Amino acid sequence: MYIERHMITPALTVKPDTLLPEVKEILTSHKFRHLPVVDHDNRLIGMISDRDIRSAYPSSVLEEEKRRTILDEVSKTKVEDVMGSKIFSLSPLSTLDDALHLLSRGKVGLLPVVDEDRQVIGVFSVQDLMKAYKNLYGIGEKGSFLIALEDDGQPKPLTRIVRVLEEMQISFSRLSRVKGENNKNIIYLRVQTFNINLIHKAFKEIGMKIIKD
Amino acid sequence: MTHFNPITLVSHKHYLEHDTGGGEHPEVPERLLAISEQLKKSPLCPVLVEVDAREPERQDVLAFHDESYLYRFEETALSGKTYLGHPDNQICFDSYQIALLSAGGGITGIDLLENNNADLVFCLVRPPGHHAESSLPLGFCFFNNAVIAAKYWQKKYEREKIVIIDWDAHHGNGIQAAFEEDPSVLYISIHEHPTFSFPGTGHAEDNGMGPGTGTTLNVPLRPGSDDTVFLQAMERLVEPALADFRPDRIIVSAGFDGHIKDDMSGLSYSTDLYEVIGRKMAAWASQYCQGKLLSILEGGYHLESLAESVERYLQGMAQTTQG
Ligand SMILES: [Zn+2]
């Protein structure tokens, strides 16, 4: 669950005095959309995105002379003049859930990961988050599928489910309980077997019903 | 009185010796026994011709499977281990040989179709095949019987364009993997939605890759889907795809686990549906392939429904070409 196991390292960063054409080149050649900006001690001081860069460049509908003037300015502009300084960041001990929360709250595509000294030690993107959850939930894993069970209302349903699955040596990768319609809880789990007889037997033994549609 | 066209059944008594360990395992020899019992008392009985499957040549199996996988499978079986890869894939000492013989079913059937005037061939084989990949056993499958058959048909008889129609309740990931980049084989699978069903593959978005883009058709159905939903999908999606592709030969991956009584899927097909499917498959064979139709048994685990559904499938198939 910890970001340190899922982040991308080392992080590519730029210095505050890097000029915009160079940043643009880095973003394009790596197909990145965001870069952390760090000071000379590798401490996070801002983020620069392709959007920041795009708005600094002249619009193509401008007349030639004006365009040239702006381009001339851009080529001398430093990152620190256009970077965003209101930044969200993660720590190595942030969890995937923390990252999900921050990515959606900050409406950003990538978060820098910093240590206690605010030095950038990695980055973590929406894509990385999707990959991590995909593994975590066993989605797309060949040989597995999702089962939905109706909670029988008896005590400790999850404990009973896990116990019987483990006893029958049926491996599973996700177990979650959500509120369904009519206040009934539905329990989802992803199992890795084709021996559905065994699964039926397991759930019959503890009185759980498989929901078929 | 109904007239039935002859059907050749390809099978082998050794298929009964693939031992999946008893207990709760659904893929048992009784599956084949239930079918033959049913057919013995069927009105179809007089038109059924039984033929023994032969072993395939090693090269026929290697046309899809890795040689290292063959060695691993053989060694594992001979060493006395009870499963290959995942505990689902139970084996016994003779399972390697029997799985080869199972792959030989389709090949035997093809020879009969091409050389012996047979038109309708049904291979009563086990273990099943459509989940097996080139070096991966999966879901009780070891060798991919349908893939091996398709490649044999192309190579030996130069039947270039093959369609594999797979209406087993589960997606045939192994068949898809074999042909997803190959435009000469159209793979059509109608199965329960992959989120809720083994093996979790076969999304509608997967339609082939590279030169094979467009020659994979996945039709996932919601759990609970019945005959009507199935037949609508056939009409709206499968028939146009076939008309477009114009196959030289048809292979049917015939699995019967979509039956409402079969717990292996959440689909709700009736026994009657299989007769309709039989008629359709034979009609398409007449339309595209001079009436030649090869069907290979895949899943189907509720013994009574399996036996009845196979009988009805054969009845539907045998009725068609007259009139
Ligand atoms: Zn199946």
What are the structural domains of chain B?
2-321 (3.40.800.20)
Question: Does the distance separating the beta carbons of A145 and B195 come in below 8 Å?
Answer: yes
Q: Which of A63-72, B93-102, B311-320 has the lowest mean pLDDT?
A: A63-72
Span from the CA of A186 to the centroid of ligand 1 (angstroms): 26
Domain positions in chain A are: 3-134, 138-211
pLDDT bin (cut points 50, 70, 90) of residue B321 is very low
pLDDT bin (cut points 50, 70, 90) of residue B1 is low
Residue B294 CA: distances (Å) to CA of A27, B121, B149: 56, 5, 9
Q: Which residues in A lie closer than 8 A to residue B195 (C-beta atoms)?
A: 145-146
**Mean pLDDT in residue range B153-163:** 97
- Domain A3-134, CATH 3.40.190.10 — does that match? no
Please tell me the predicted confidence (pLDDT) of residue A213.
Answer: 63
Span from the CA of B267 to the centroid of ligand 1 (angstroms): 11
Residue pLDDT, tens place only, A88-109: 999 988 999 999 999 988 778 8
Q: In percent, how much of chain A has pLDDT > 90?
A: 49
The residues, ordered by sequence, that sit 6+ positions from A158 with a Cβ below 8 Å of its Cβ are A175, A177, A187
Residue A134 CA: distances (Å) to CA of A125, A145, A177, B20, B142: 14, 13, 18, 33, 28
Question: Does the distance separating the beta carbons of B139 and A145 come in below 8 Å?
Answer: no
| Bridge partner list, A145 | A191
Tokens 């040549």 correspond to B57
Q: What is the ipTM of this complex?
A: 0.82
Please tell me the predicted confidence (pLDDT) of residue B162.
Answer: 98
CA dist., res. B273 & res. B320, Å (int): 15
CB atoms within 10 A of CB B234: 19
Nearest-CB residue to A194 (from B194, B195, B198): B198
Residue pLDDT, tens place only, B271-280: 999 999 999 9
Q: Which of A29-38, A178-187, B115-124 has the lowest mean pLDDT?
A: A178-187
Question: Does the distance separating the beta carbons of B199 and A145 come in below 8 Å?
Answer: yes
Question: Does the distance separating the beta carbons of A140 and B198 come in below 8 Å?
Answer: no
The pTM assigned to this predicted structure is 0.86
Strands (E), chain B: 7-11, 48-52, 120-123, 162-166, 185-192, 216-221, 249-254, 293-297
Going by DSSP bridges, is the β-strand pair A145-150/A120-125 parallel, antiparallel, or unpaired? Answer: unpaired
Closest alpha carbon within chain A to B170:
A194
Domain A138-211 belongs to what architecture?
Answer: 2-Layer Sandwich (3.30)
Closest alpha carbon within chain A to B299:
A194
Residue A150 has pLDDT above 90, yes or no: no
At CB < 8 A and 24+ separation, what contacts does A132-139 make?
A: A132/A6, A132/A96, A133/A96, A136/A96, A136/A173, A136/A174, A137/A173, A137/A174, A137/A190, A138/A173, A138/A174, A138/A190, A138/A192, A139/A190
Is B131 labeled as catalytic in the residue annotation?
Answer: yes
Residue pLDDT, tens place only, A32-74: 899 999 999 999 999 999 999 988 888 878 888 888 888 888 8
Span from the CA of A128 to the centroid of ligand 1 (angstroms): 34
What is the b/e burial string over B147-164, where b = at least 16 CB atoms within 10 angstroms of the residue's CB?
bbbbbbbbeeeebebbbb
Please tell me the predicted confidence (pLDDT) of residue B322.
Answer: 43
Residue B265 CA: distances (Å) to CA of B165, B176, B194: 18, 20, 11
Residue B323 has pLDDT above 70, yes or no: no
- From the candidates B12, B18, B131, B170, give the one annotated as an active-site residue: B131
**Angle of helix B271-289 relative to helix B303-319, nearest 10 degrees?**
40
